[in-house]
Amino acid sequence: MRRTLLLICWLATDAALFIAAYAIAYFLRVGFILSSDFPLSLYLQTVLTVTPLWLAVMLQLGIFRLSRVQSDTRNISHILFAAVLGLALFSLAYYFLHDKFFSRLLLIYAGILSFLFAVVWHLAFDQWQRQMLRRNPPAFPMLVVGANREAERFIKLLNERRSPFKPVAVLDSQGSPHRELGGIPVAGKLNKLEEVIKTMRPTHLVQCSNLEHTINLMSVCRQHRITYLLLPSVLGAIAGSSEIIEGRSVIMVKDGGF
Amino acid sequence: MHVFILAGGFATRLWPLTEKRAKPLLPLAGKPLLSYIIDQIPAGMDITISTNAVFAEDFRKWRKDVPREKIEIHIEDAGHEDQKPGALGAVAMWLESNGIDEDLLLVAGDNYSELNIEKFLEHRTDRPLLAAHDIGETGLAQNFGTIIAGEPASGSPTLPVVSFEEKPLHPKSTFVSTGWWFLPKSCLTVLKEHAISHPDNVGGVFEEFLRRDLKVDCYVFDGRWRDIGSFESYMSIHREIVGERAIVDPGSSILAGTELMGSIVIGPNVKIEKSILRDCIVFGKTTILDSVLEGCIIDENCTLESIDLTDKMLRAGTVLRNKGINPKMSGVF
């Protein structure tokens, strides 16, 4: 629920900023007057028509996903792509609706401003959203399965970066001698899984060791509507990414090239 | 003599099979492991099975199906592994609370053995006696309590125990303790005293006997023995006992296109169609369709469709349906 409200807020503010960027571009180009040759009302009407399409592109590109790091180069390039697409949609829409073309400089202003506004706002909103989502009780409590060094590194990473996914407990099939891992309590062996799920109510489970339990952990997750995640290191892959080949999901580890 | 069977563990290493089932109640060739132990114990002996509160109901249910008399279920006050009184602690508490003052046959409820108990008990004296098995390799002995035995007295079928080591890093012997221990009543005080400081170490009490210069004997038996502590050991004893046959519950349906190979046990209400199974245990109430399973243990209420699995234990309620390639999935992430 917290995430849904935040997402609605994010989309609404993004839409407002997109419209604002185009409005500022208008005034920068036309001057701070209301021109009768190039009426602001028609201009804004077109911007309003395009805004939902631009947001749809942003959503489709996964820019609002929790797993996205907003400062990541890929994410910024996606925002740029959405800004360019928004610009193209605006030009076409304006032409179709009003049968006119207009200033190229205005388009450049609008493109640059909508891109910059979106980037800056996304960086700020992301930080605020992380804080809101990590507040106790966390919106996305994560259960870590495995008490190895890889798990510890992952927990530290999530906590240092104040990830929306907050580790709340660790379970280890072998029984860890440690009471905590990266500051997170080790709740016991896998026989405590059901109990931990009942008490901690994790929304995500990340498997960091013991490949032989994969199917059973997935089964538990499915029964409790928990999202299952797997570190590639469990498969012996140090760095891998999910890809799709001919419609089939695969983990890909590549050393340069394709 | 009273028989006390230790069945209070939570068997975490066999998760998920033991998530809702005590290890001694795991089926072996369609019969609970505990039933094999009960069948080995001579008739007429008083038996107490000690278990924890979590699995108490399962043991009571099992008890109803066992026609034998003089079996009592003793419930340890443990709803969790952390609250366990420990195996030796449970024995000591039971001895104390019931005022038991007679010879004791202590049995680990999670072992399968072909020990002839009558023969074993024939060799009892006023010394503790434990049943030992020659596991053959010191590397394998690492996981168990090992026994270093001395030379036998002439004509004696038992060996004097020189030392006892619990799960040693470098075993000096291939004789391992099998979870069958005879304790004369004269030793019970030592057991109770030792249980206060070492409640979880049954094997340790024998080290304590030796430390106190009490003589301990062992009886080495031939035949199979397994500690059902892992997936591998469970599968291995399953293969040995079942052999090259399929034991199928009459309430199950093996439909067209199915091949059952190797050691197969199929529990009640299982439906298998167009599948190949080799060396598998299917507990019950499961549907397997168009799948290839090798060396798998499938717990109850599972559904498998178009799945190939090797050496897997599947949790109760697992649903695996391989819907194949999703042509709608794009390459954009």
Is B12 within the bounds of a domain? yes
Helix (H) / strand (E) element for A181: namely strand A180-181
- Among the partner residues B11, B317, B329, nearest to A244 by beta-carbon distance: B329
For B174, the token pair is 């291939």
A179 contacts chain B (CB < 8 A):
no
For residue B310, what is the nearest residue in chain A, using CA coordinates? Answer: A212
Rounded (10°) CA dihedral B72, B77, B79, B83: -130
**Who wins on pLDDT, B38 or A245?**
B38
Alpha-carbon A73 to chain mean position: 13
**Who wins on pLDDT, A175 or A87?**
A87
* Residues B289-313: tens digit of each pLDDT: 999 999 999 999 999 999 999 999 9
Mark A155-164 as b/e (b = at least 16 C-beta within 10 Å): beebeeeebb
Q: Is the pLDDT of residue B112 over 60?
A: yes
Cβ contact, residue pair A215, B312, below 8 Å: yes
Same domain, B78 and B186: yes
- Kindly report the nearest CA distance between residue B310 and chain A, in angstroms: 10
CB-based contact B86:B200 (threshold 8 Å)? yes
Same domain, B104 and B214: yes
d(C-alpha B287, C-alpha B253), whole Å: 10
Q: Tell how strand B313-314 and strand B297-298 pair up.
A: parallel
Q: What is the pLDDT of residue B147?
A: 92
Q: What is the pLDDT of residue B329?
A: 43
Give the range among A223-232, B152-161, B167-176 with minimum mean pLDDT.
B152-161
Chain B residues closer than 8 Å to A224 by CB: none
SS3 sequence of chain B: CEEEEEECCCCHHHCCCCCCCCHHHCEECCEEHHHHHHHHCCCCCEEEEEEECCCHHHHHHHHHCCCCCCEEEEEECCCCHHHCCCHHHHHHHHHHHHCCCCCEEEEECCEEECCCHHHHHHCCCCCCEEEEEECCCHHHHCCCEEEEECCCCCCCCCEEEEEEEECCCCCCCCEEEEEEEEECHHHHHHHHHHHHHCCCCCCHHHHHHHHCCCCCEEEECCCCEEECCCHHHHHHHHHHHHCCCEEECCCCEECCCCEEEEEEEECCCEEEECCEEEEEEECCCEEEECCEEECCEECCCCEEECCEEECCEECCCCEEECCCCCCCCCCCC
Give the closest residue to A164 by CA, choosing from A135, A128, A136, A140.
A140
Find the chain B residues whose C-beta atoms sit closer than 8 A to any C-beta of A.
10-12, 15-16, 18-19, 81-82, 231, 309, 311-315, 317-320, 325-333
What is the mean pLDDT of the segment spanning B141-167?
A: 86
d(C-alpha A171, C-alpha A153), whole Å: 15
Q: Is the pLDDT of residue A115 over 70?
A: yes
Is B332 within the bounds of a domain? no
Helix (H) / strand (E) element for A145: namely strand A140-145
Give the closest residue to B24 by CA, choosing from B36, B40, B12, B41.
B36
SS3 sequence of B113-166: ECCCHHHHHHCCCCCCEEEEEECCCHHHHCCCEEEEECCCCCCCCCEEEEEEEE
Q: What is the pLDDT of residue A127?
A: 93
For residue B321, what is the nearest residue in chain A, using CA coordinates? Answer: A219
Same domain, B150 and B212: yes
Q: What is the pLDDT of residue A252?
A: 79
**pTM, to two decimals:** 0.78
Is B151 within the bounds of a domain? yes
Q: How wide is the angle at C-alpha B121 spanned by C-alphas B119 and B126, nearest 5°?
A: 140
* Residues A12-33: tens digit of each pLDDT: 999 999 999 999 999 888 887 7
* Residues A63-95: tens digit of each pLDDT: 999 888 999 999 999 999 999 999 999 999 988
Is B203 within the bounds of a domain? yes
Q: Is the pLDDT of residue B40 over 70?
A: yes
CATH of the domain at B74: 3.90.550.10
Last residue within a domain, chosen from B237, B268, B297: B237
> Which segments of chain A belong to CATH 3.40.50.720?
140-252
What is the mean pLDDT of the segment spanning B124-139?
A: 91
CB-based contact B146:B137 (threshold 8 Å)? no
Same domain, B148 and B295: no
* Amino acid at residue number B258: T
Q: Which residues fall within 8 angstroms of residue B6, CB to CB, at 6 or more apart?
A: B50, B87, B90, B91, B106, B107, B108, B109, B179, B202
Q: What is the pLDDT of residue B333?
A: 34
Share of chain A above pLDDT 70, in %: 97
Q: Which residues fall within 8 angstroms of residue B247, CB to CB, at 6 or more apart?
A: B29, B30, B264, B265, B266
Q: What is the pLDDT of residue A226?
A: 95
For A41, the token pair is 């009302």
- Among the partner residues A191, A223, A249, nearest to B317 by beta-carbon distance: A223
Q: What is the pLDDT of residue B84?
A: 65
Domain count, chain B: 2
Is B330 within the bounds of a domain? no
Same domain, B200 and B277: no
Q: Is the pLDDT of residue B331 over 70?
A: no
- Kindly report the nearest CA distance between residue A159 and chain B, in angstroms: 25
Same domain, B53 and B154: yes
- Confidence bin at B45 (pLDDT 50/70/90): very high
Last residue within a domain, chosen from B193, B221, B237: B237
CB-based contact B73:B94 (threshold 8 Å)? no
- Write phi, then psi, for A71 (nearest 5 degrees): -85, -5
CA-CA-CA-CA torsion sign (B72, B73, B76, B82): positive
Same domain, B8 and B157: yes
Q: State chain B's mean pLDDT as an integer.
A: 89
Cβ contact, residue pair B16, A216, below 8 Å: yes
Chain B residues closer than 8 Å to A216 by CB: 15-16, 313-315, 318
Same domain, B128 and B50: yes
d(C-alpha A195, C-alpha A173), whole Å: 15
Q: Is the pLDDT of residue B332 over 60?
A: no
* Residues B318-327: tens digit of each pLDDT: 998 887 554 4
For residue A74, what is the nearest residue in chain B, using CA coordinates? Answer: B333
What is the mean pLDDT of the segment spanning B173-202?
A: 90
Q: Is the pLDDT of residue B162 over 70?
A: yes
d(C-alpha A39, C-alpha B253), whole Å: 77
- Kindly report the nearest CA distance between residue A90 and chain B, in angstroms: 24
Is B326 within the bounds of a domain? no
Q: Is the pLDDT of residue B164 over 50?
A: yes
CB-based contact A243:A219 (threshold 8 Å)? no
Which CATH number applies to A140-252?
3.40.50.720
Last residue within a domain, chosen from B237, B257, B290: B237
Domain containing residue B272: 243-321
CA-CA-CA-CA torsion sign (A172, B168, B211, B203): positive
Give the best-scoring range by mean pLDDT among A51-55, A206-210, B148-152. Answer: A51-55
Chain B residues closer than 8 Å to A188 by CB: 81-82
Chain B residues closer than 8 Å to A187 by CB: none
Give the CA diameter of chain B. Answer: 80
Helix (H) / strand (E) element for A204: namely strand A204-207
Q: What is the pLDDT of residue A239?
A: 65
Owner of token pair 């799709």? A244
Same domain, B250 and B223: no
Q: Is the pLDDT of residue B79 over 70?
A: no
For A57, the token pair is 């592109």
Rounded (10°) CA dihedral B102, B195, B178, B279: 120
Q: ipTM value, please give it.
A: 0.71
For B86, the token pair is 């420990």
Q: What is the pLDDT of residue A232?
A: 81
Give the closest residue to A102 by CA, choosing from A33, A45, A26.
A26
DSSP tag of A203: S
Same domain, B122 and B213: yes
CATH of the domain at B283: 2.160.10.10
d(C-alpha B96, C-alpha A31), whole Å: 96
* Residues B63-78: tens digit of each pLDDT: 999 988 899 999 887 5
Q: State chain A's mean pLDDT as an integer.
A: 89
Give the best-scoring range by mean pLDDT among A132-136, B6-10, B84-88. Answer: A132-136
Q: What is the pLDDT of residue B122?
A: 92
A215 contacts chain B (CB < 8 A):
yes
Question: How many C-beta neighbours within 10 Å does residue B207 have?
Answer: 19
Same domain, B271 and B195: no
For an interface test with A, which of B14, B54, B318, B323 has the most A Cβ atoms less than 10 Å from its Cβ?
B318
CB-based contact B25:B34 (threshold 8 Å)? yes
CB-based contact B238:B295 (threshold 8 Å)? no
Is B329 within the bounds of a domain? no
Same domain, B277 and B310: yes
